[in-house]
Amino acid sequence: MSIDDKQTRQRNDRVTIRTVAARAGVSVAAVSKVMRNAYGVSEALRTKVTDAIDALGYRPSRAARGLRGRSFTIGVLLIDIRNPFLPEVIAGVNGVLAPSHYQAMIGVSDARVQLETSLIESMIDYKMDGLILVAPRLPSEIIAKFAVQIPIVAVGYHAAGATAFDTVNADDQRGAEIAVEALIACGYRNIEMLSLGEREGHAVSVVRQREIGFRRAMQRGGLGSSAPIGKIPIASPKREEAMRKFLSRKDRPRAVFCWSDLDAITLLCLAMEMGVRVPEDLAVVGYDNSSTAALGLVNLASIDQSGRELGQVATQTLISRVEGRTGAEHILQIPSLVSRGSLELSDGTKQG
C-alpha cells in the first residue's frame, strides 16, 4: 500500500464502496456489478475495480451487502405497459403483498433487452428481496445468472427445464388448442392464426407456444399439420398495414385466431372500417380476455388466462423462494374460452 493510500485510510474510519469507485474512476453501480460478478462486466472495468479494492483493502460490511429478507421489497419488471393484460397481473401481485410486509416496485423495460438487463441490475443493487419478470426477453441462461444473486419468478416465459429460477404460466399451447377447437365446433374449417413476426418471439415465449398449440389442434382436427400462420409486425404503421392486407385477401380465411387481444381488437376495428362483417364474413378469437374485449361494441371471444391469478401465484411462489425454498417450481394454469359475438352469430347458427 502506498503512502497516499495509507493517508486515505487514516482520513476515513472505514473505506466504503464510494471510496473504491472514486479510486477506480467509475460509478458506485459499476463497483457493485464487479463485486457481484454481474453479467456483461468488461475485463477492463473488472481490472480497474479489483485493483482499487486491493489497493484500499476494501472489505464490504455484511449490512452493505443487504441481507435477504430485510428490504421487504419485490421488484416487478414489465416489458410493455401498453398491454391491457398487465394491470390484472399487477393487481394479483398487489393482492398478495397487501396483507404482508412486502411492497412492489415496478419497472418497465419497453421490450428492450439492454434496458431490461439494466433494470434487473438496478433492482439487485437496491437490495430487493426478489424479482417477478413478466414476459422477459432475456435468454434463460442470463436469467439463471441473475437468479444466483436474487430469487426470480418469470411469468409468460416457458422454461420448464430451468433450475435456478421459477416460472408461472398459463398453458399457452392448451389455450391455442381451445381456441381452435371452439372454431371447429362452430363449423369453421378454413382457419388461420395471426402471430408476431419471427424476430418478436423466441422458443420460450407465449407467442411461439401458442403457435405450437394452434398447429397441433389443426392437425388433430384434420385440417393439416402445416396450418397457415400469418406474421404481423409489432410496430405501427406496418402492423395495421399487414392487417389490412390480411382483410383484403381474396383467399382470406373464414376464421382467425389472434395470438393476443392486442391484435384481435385492432383487427376488429379495421374489419368494421373495411366493411368485413364479424362473424358473418370473419370469425375472430383473441387471447387474454382483456377488459376491452368484454365491451359491448367489441364483443371479442377470447382465451382467458386469468392475469390476476397468474400474478397471485407468481407472488406466492416468489415469497416461498425468498423464505428459503431451493428447488425450482414450474407452474401451469389451465386457460378457458370466454365466448362472445365475434365467434358465432347470436342465434347460434353454425358456419361453413
Given this model, what pLDDT does residue 218 score?
Answer: 96
Burial class (CB in 10 A: 0-12, 13-18, 19+), 69: middle
Given this model, what pLDDT does residue 3 score?
Answer: 45
- Tell me the per-residue pLDDT of 144-164, one tens digit each, with 9 for 90 and over: 999 999 999 999 999 999 999
Q: What is the DSSP letter of 200?
A: G
Given this model, what pLDDT does residue 213 score?
Answer: 96
Given this model, what pLDDT does residue 346 score?
Answer: 56
Q: Which of 121-130, 272-281, 285-294, 343-352 has the lowest mean pLDDT?
A: 343-352
- Tell me the per-residue pLDDT of 185-194, one tens digit each, with 9 for 90 and over: 999 999 999 9
Fold: same for 3-65 and 172-306:
no
Output the average pLDDT for the chain.
Answer: 88
- Tell me the per-residue pLDDT of 82-97, one tens digit each, with 9 for 90 and over: 788 899 999 999 999 9
- Percentage of the chain modeled with pLDDT above 90: 66
Q: Which of 36-40, 130-134, 161-165 has the lowest mean pLDDT?
A: 36-40
The residue whose grid cell reads 418478436 is 200
Given this model, what pLDDT does residue 1 score?
Answer: 47
Distance, CA of 261 to CA of 241 (rounded, Å): 18
Given this model, what pLDDT does residue 66 score?
Answer: 45
Place 337 in a pLDDT band, splitting at 50, 70 and 90: very high
Question: CB under 8 Å to 218, separation ≥6 — which residues?
Answer: 180, 191, 224, 225, 227
Residue 12 has pLDDT above 50, yes or no: no
Place 8 in a pLDDT band, splitting at 50, 70 and 90: very low
CATH architecture of 172-306: 3-Layer(aba) Sandwich (3.40)
- Percentage of the chain modeled with pLDDT above 70: 88
Domain ranges (residues) in the chain: 3-65, 73-169+307-333, 172-306
Q: Which of 9-23, 109-123, 219-233, 266-280 has the lowest mean pLDDT?
A: 9-23
Q: Report residue 82 as a C-alpha cell.
A: 401498453
- Cross-strand bridge partners of residue 336: 304
Mean pLDDT score, 30-51? 81
Given this model, what pLDDT does residue 63 score?
Answer: 42
What is the secondary structure of 211-276 as a DSSP string?
HHHHHHHHHHTTS-TT--EEEE-SSTTHHHHHHHHHHH-TT--SEEEESSHHHHHHHHHHHHHHT-
Given this model, what pLDDT does residue 173 score?
Answer: 97
Residue 352 has pLDDT above 60, yes or no: no
Contact 301, 336 (CB under 8 A): no
Residue 37 has pLDDT above 80, yes or no: no
Q: Which CATH superfamily is domain 73-169+307-333 in?
A: Response regulator (3.40.50.2300)
Q: Enumerate the H helices of 134-205 as residue ranges.
A: 140-149, 172-185
Given this model, what pLDDT does residue 65 score?
Answer: 45
Given this model, what pLDDT does residue 60 score?
Answer: 61
Place 166 in a pLDDT band, splitting at 50, 70 and 90: very high
Residue 78 has pLDDT above 80, yes or no: yes
Residue 67 has pLDDT above 60, yes or no: no
Q: Report residue 242 as a C-alpha cell.
A: 399487414
Domain 3-65 fold: 434 Repressor (Amino-terminal Domain) (1.10.260)
Given this model, what pLDDT does residue 234 score?
Answer: 83
